[in-house]
C-alpha cells in the first residue's frame, strides 16, 4: 500500500501577515507541521516573541482562510492552568451565570474566568 503524503497548505503571508519575519514564518511552519497542529494564542506569542494581540490576529486569519478551526478556551480560577471548557470561537463569551464543569460553582463575574484561543489545523501549513 502506498500512503498518501500529508497535505501541506501554503499561506502567503505578504498581504495580511506582513509583520512576520522570515524567522517567525519558519517557526510557524515548523509548529504547524507537527502532528498535533494546535496552538493557543499564548503559545504563539511566546514562540514568536509577539504581543498577544498579534498572535491572536494570526489565529483569526488562519480561521478566516479556513486553515484552522478555532475554539475559545475557558479557564476558571479553580484550575488556572487547565481549560475547564471549550466552545466554538465566534459564539462570543459564555453567558453569566455560568456553571463551571470542573468545580460546579456558579460563576457570576467574568473576573473569575480567563480565556484563550486554540487553533486546530486540519493539514500542515507552510508560511511563506
Report in angstroms how near the CB of residue 115 gets to Zn ion at its nearest: 14
b (16+ CB within 10 A) / e for 10-45 = ebebeeebeebeeebbebbbebbeeeebebbbbebb
74 forms part of the interface with Zn ion (CB under 5 A): no
85 forms part of the interface with Zn ion (CB under 5 A): no
Q: Which of 9, 61, 78, 85 binds Zn ion (CB under 5 A)?
A: 78
Q: Which of 100, 117, 118, 125 binds Zn ion (CB under 5 A)?
A: 100
**Residues engaged in binding Zn ion (CB under 5 A):** 76, 78, 100, 102-103
Amino acid at each position: 500500500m502506498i500512503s498518501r503524503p500529508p497535505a501541506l497548505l501554503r499561506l502567503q503571508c505578504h498581504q495580511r501577515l506582513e509583520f512576520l519575519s522570515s524567522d517567525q514564518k519558519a517557526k510557524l511552519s515548523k509548529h504547524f507541521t507537527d502532528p498535533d497542529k494546535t496552538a493557543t494564542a499564548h503559545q504563539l506569542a511566546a514562540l514568536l516573541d509577539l504581543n498577544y494581540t498579534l498572535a491572536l490576529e494570526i489565529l483569526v486569519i488562519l480561521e478566516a482562510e479556513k486553515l484552522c478551526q478555532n475554539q475559545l478556551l475557558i479557564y476558571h480560577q479553580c484550575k488556572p492552568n487547565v481549560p475547564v471548557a471549550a466552545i466554538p470561537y465566534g459564539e462570543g463569551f459564555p453567558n453569566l451565570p455560568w456553571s463551571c464543569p470542573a468545580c460546579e460553582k456558579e460563576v457570576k463575574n467574568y473576573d473569575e474566568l480567563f480565556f484563550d484561543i486554540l487553533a486546530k489545523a486540519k493539514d500542515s501549513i507552510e508560511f511563506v
